[in-house]
Amino acid sequence: MSAESTMRDKEAPMGRKICSTVEALVPLYEHAGVDSAASVLDGYPNTLTIVEALKILIDSMIPGRMTHTDIDRDELGLFLLRRLSQAWRLLRPEIERAIPFRWKGAAAMMEGAPTHSDPRIESFAAMRTFYDRLTTVRQLVVEDIKAAYEGDPAALTYAEVQLAYPGLLAVVSHRLAHELYRLDIPIVPRVMSEWTHSTTGVDINPGAQIGHGFFIDHATGVVIGETCKIGNHVKLYQGVTLGAKSFALDEYGRPIKHIQRHPIVEDDVVIYANATILGGDTVIGKGSIIGGNVFIMESVPPNSFVASKHPELHIRTSLDE
């Protein structure tokens, strides 16, 4: 018996095992024409393409952050034309692929499929509206850059903030994703926010509403929920959670979507490291300061200072004492 035939004989059981495993797996991917948990065969949007488009859009909002080539001031318009055209070509088809999942999600809870428009036509309309809003996003980003520079003594230049600060990157990415969320585009904004989460350590749901002049210092570990509303000139430090206290359920025992379940943070609030603020009826009043490591589930009046009671410290000057 040749070495080649011996090898085939040894590989035969492996091949049979792989085939039997595939036969067992295939039925688990079947679906009934709705957005079921098992379905992976419905033309999902390409997450890598969405992320690539997001990076280009970020580069358009803060030129130089994602680009490694010099940008001549006289050629800024040409740079933006190229980048925004490229982002359009990448993102528009993925929005078209995503739109039907909005209807499938609704159909899963209703009798019969809902009436809807053409995803291709809607994707073009959504992109036109999204691009109309990019000037507003850029204006907000300028205020965010100023807030970071003025709010951090370690920031020596605006360029340092724009090129290096993860908090700024997270906020810019969120502002872009939020505009798509406002247009009721499914999946795509969340893909963007999860890339931001993995890149910066900041987890902001694209539904969160954030005012101008927003700054996240040190960034890592910040969590901001979907229905959170944040005012103007708010500053957060690392580890802050603005989360939900509980979830209201519908008649089928499923969480009710889009109801207010995360806190409202009014203007000019500072929240220090590792503070946790929960609940849709929790309001942090204007001008308040929230100390580190506090746990809040009730509203705080304007201009309050909230701090936890420090544990007693025991300091020894030597190990023998």
CATH number where 258 lies: 2.160.10.10
| Domains: count for the chain | 2
Residues of the domain holding 156 = 43-110+117-201
pLDDT in tens, 298-320: 999 999 999 988 778 778 777 65
Q: What is the DSSP string of 151-218?
A: H-TT---HHHHHHH-HHHHHHHHHHHHHHHHHTT--SHHHHHHHHHHHHHS-EE-TT-EE-SS-EESS
**Chain center to CA of 273:** 20
Residues 6+ away with beta carbon under 8 Å from 29: 38, 39, 40, 41
CA-to-CA distance for 137 and 178, rounded, in angstroms? 10
For the segment 239-292, what is each residue's pLDDT rounded down to a tens digit? Answer: 999 999 987 888 888 888 878 999 999 999 999 999 999 999 999 999 999 999
pLDDT tens digit string along 3-32? 666 555 566 788 889 999 999 988 887 765
Beta bridge partners of 216: 236
Whether residue 200 has pLDDT greater than 70:
yes
Residues 67 and 164 in one domain: yes
What pLDDT is stored for residue 313 in this prediction? 78
State the average pLDDT for the chain: 90
Same domain? 63 vs 134 = yes
Q: Which residues pair with 224 in a beta bridge?
A: 204, 242
| Chain centre to alpha carbon of residue 30 | 30
Higher pLDDT, 151 or 251: 151
CA of 138: how far to CAs of 134, 172, 183, in Å?
6, 9, 18
Q: Within this chain, do residues 196 and 149 fall inside the same structural domain, yes or no?
A: yes
Encoded tokens for 154 = 């370690």
Same-domain check for residues 51 and 188: yes
For residue 185, is it within any domain?
yes
- Give mean pLDDT, residues 40-66: 92
Q: Name the percent of the chain lying above pLDDT 70.
A: 88
Backbone angles phi, psi at 143, to 5 degrees: -65, -35
pLDDT in tens, 58-108: 999 999 999 877 788 889 999 999 999 999 999 999 999 999 988 765 544
pLDDT of residue 252: 80
pTM over 0.85: yes
